[in-house]
Amino acid sequence: MSIEQRRLLPGRNIEAYRYLFQDCFPETAGTSLETPEHYQWKYGSEGKQVPPFEFAAYEAGRILGYYAALPFAYRVDGKRVTACLVCDVMTHSQARGKGIFTAQGRFATDEMARNGIAFCTGYPIRSYVFPGHLKVGWRVAFPLPVYGNLLDLRPILARRHLGILGSMLQPLCSAWYQASRLTRPSFRDASCREVNPETFFSSGEFVSFYTAWARHSPSHLIRTADFYRWRLSAPQSSYVVTALFTKSHLAGVAITRNSILSGFPVTNILDLMLLPEYREAAGALHDALVRISRHSRTAGLVVMCTGSDAARWALLRNGYFKSKIEFKLILKWLSDDPAPPSFWDEAAWHLTWLDTDNL
């Protein structure tokens, strides 16, 4: 097999992309993920630190593999760098097991390194993709568990035609949530309100909050008004931004979006930021997110984060449990400079679904 590796012009490969996407992810048929609008949102230039990377593997003019990466600004150990989120790695179903995935990974990351990318991130959940990544220098950094707060059994049991049972068991969910709140601190001076992302993320109030928050988060995705404008404009998606205030001070921010997870309606916490001096007020923000879930009639709240952030946000004290769903953060350092000391330190990272192309 003679395979030709090519770097593609970004944002101009919708037909090749959809051809492989529909073969590799047939479960997305009929969703916004396979539309030209989603492709253009993802691989267009808007909201990116530099133009996205798209690569393809061809045999006799036929596309067999695709490998892409979205460049974003990160701060790692206090230094600003450009990193890439690797996504939409695809090999045609008739060409698997022939080394295309590994060859593309080597070609693509070498090309990104030549273009000044400091490191790459990935968030795989399927175990069969790990060998191909590890062969070309990726490392598994640490797990990213998914935590859940089950608030309503009815949407879950209704799919099994057990809606009446869900109604009967609903008091148990309420009792669990109320019991979990007994051990958390009081927060009399804390309040929450929904804010308009178009104006909120460009406000001086948020900029001051973010500057203070960043001092306590050594490694994180750099959040700007332009980034939020792009990230929260995914086609056929709707987001709610909730701000936490203690007295008149902005103390925390959460972004949520409703979706279907494992066939059930849930409210996803896309991101959560909390100033450490106001952690005792976290319960007010969690209560606001519970109200969003209940208003949306979803089964509950879910969030992907590090174990360290789960502790900082007091998830267990606010009704969450650690689920069996677990992503892995994989990293590949590309820069000629040595990786900073905190690069492999889980406690130094703030990572959520906002860092990914999911949701």
Asked if 352 contacts 304 with a C-beta cutoff of 8 angstroms, the reply is yes
The CATH architecture of the domain made up of 4-137 is 3-Layer(aba) Sandwich (3.40)
Write down the pLDDT at residue 189: 85
Q: In this structure, are residues 125 and 327 in contact, taking their beta carbons and an 8 Å threshold?
A: yes
Query: Would you give per-residue pLDDT tens digits along the chain (359 residues)?
Result: 688 999 999 999 999 999 999 999 888 888 888 899 999 999 987 767 689 999 999 998 899 999 999 999 999 998 999 999 999 999 999 988 889 999 999 999 999 999 999 999 999 877 788 888 999 999 999 999 999 998 877 766 656 655 565 565 666 666 666 666 767 777 778 999 999 999 999 999 999 999 999 999 999 999 999 999 999 999 989 999 999 999 889 999 999 999 987 778 999 999 999 999 999 899 999 999 999 999 999 999 999 999 999 999 999 989 899 999 999 999 999 999 999 989 999 999 999 999 999 88
336 in Cβ contact with 118 (< 8 Å): no
What is the Cβ-side half-sphere exposure of residue 252, based on CA atoms within 13 angstroms?
Answer: 27
Q: Are domains 4-137 and 145-326 of this chain identical in fold?
A: yes
Query: What pLDDT is stored for residue 162 in this prediction?
Result: 55
pLDDT of residue 31: 84
Report pLDDT for 222: 96
CATH of domain 145-326: 3.40.630.30
Determine contact, residues 317/147, Cβ cutoff 8 Å.
no
Using H for helix, E for strand and C for coil, what is the string for the chain?
A: CCCEEEEECCCCCHHHHHHHHHHHCHHHCCCHHHCHHHHHHHHCCCCCCCCCEEEEEEECCEEEEEEEEEEEEEEECCEEEEEEEEEEEEECCCCCCCCHHHHHHHHHHHHHHHCCCCEEEECCCCHHHHHHHHCCCCEEEEEEEEEEEECCCHHHHHCCCCHHHHHHHHHHHHHHHHHHHHHCCCCCCEEEEEECHHHHCCCHHHHHHHHHHHCCCCEEECCCHHHHHHHCCCCCCCCEEEEEEECCEEEEEEEEEEEEECCEEEEEEEEEEECHHHHHHHHHHHHHHHHHHHHHCCCEEEEECCHHHHHHCCCHHHCCEEEEEEEEEEEEECCCCCCCCCCCCHHHEECCHHHCCCC
Residue ranges of the domains in the chain? Answer: 4-137, 145-326
- What's residue 170's pLDDT? 63
pTM for this entry: 0.93
Look up residue 7 and give its two tokens: 């770097």
CA distance 206 to 69: 29
Q: For 49, what's the count of Cα atoms within 13 Å in the CB-facing half-sphere?
A: 22
Question: What phi and psi, each to the nearest 5 degrees, are found at residue 36?
Answer: -60, -30
Residue 61: the pLDDT is 87
Q: Specify whether the CB–CB gap between 62 and 15 falls below 8 A.
A: no
